Amino acid sequence: MAPQPWRTRASRDIYRNTWVRLREDIAELPDGRTTIYSVLTPGIGQCVGVLPFLPDGRVVMIRQYRYVYGEGHRWEMPTGGMHEGETPEEAAQRELQEEIGYRAGRFEWISSYYTSKSVVEETAHLFLGFDLTPSSLPPDETEFLEIEAMPFEQVLDMVLCSDIRDSMTVTAVLHAARRLGV
């Protein structure tokens, strides 16, 4: 028998700013008891990532300081939150232009998944980007990026030895490796 749904009996915002919302719900369990459940929603609850391929097979990666982990030495693909009213493809195009100064002529969707299955309400949409042409938009005001084109095999090795750790990049690189037969 499939799990029975919980019912939200009450909900209130605990905190909200431009980047994140934290709410606290009172949820009724299938057996009638209630529990407090906290839910964190980044932005509008959806984000995108693009693994951008140059014609020679290299991928364009970025590196930036990640405040939560206190490190700035790990590479990742261009990623970011969706804006209200954007499709995943529109958001992916904007992120490429803001972060690496390219526009993709073609996207291939590879995955949509929940970034956390319990307390974070966010869906990530991942793409491979091809047919890149120079085109830039101003970067986000909090992003200070290093950009480098790397052989795909090198990026795959960094995923396999855990030098790349963010779930969006790991997922995209492994999907790409399977599609490319690497």
Rounded mean pLDDT of the chain? Answer: 94
110 neighbors 125 (Cβ within 8 angstroms):
no
Tell me: do 27 and 112 sit in the same domain: no
Tell me: do 80 and 168 sit in the same domain: yes
pLDDT band at 14 (very low <50, low <70, confident <90, very high): very high
Q: Which residues contact 79 (CB under 8 A, 6 or more apart)?
A: 47, 48, 49, 50, 95, 166, 168, 169
Tell me: do 82 and 155 sit in the same domain: yes
Residue 38's domain comprises: 7-42
Residue 86 inside a domain? The answer is yes
Tell me: do 17 and 67 sit in the same domain: no
What is the rounded end-to-end Cα distance, in angstroms, of the chain? Answer: 40
Tell me: do 68 and 158 sit in the same domain: yes
Among 61-70, 81-90, 169-178, which stretch is predicted with the lowest mean pLDDT?
61-70
Buried b (16+ CB within 10 A) or exposed e, 140-154: eeeeeeeeeeeebee
pLDDT value for 26: 97
Residue 1 inside a domain? The answer is no
CATH number where 62 lies: 3.90.79.10
Tell me: do 52 and 32 sit in the same domain: no
Average pLDDT, integer, range 36-45: 94
Tell me: do 34 and 97 sit in the same domain: no
* Alpha-carbon gap, residue 41 to 59, rounded angstroms: 30
Report the domain count for the chain: 2
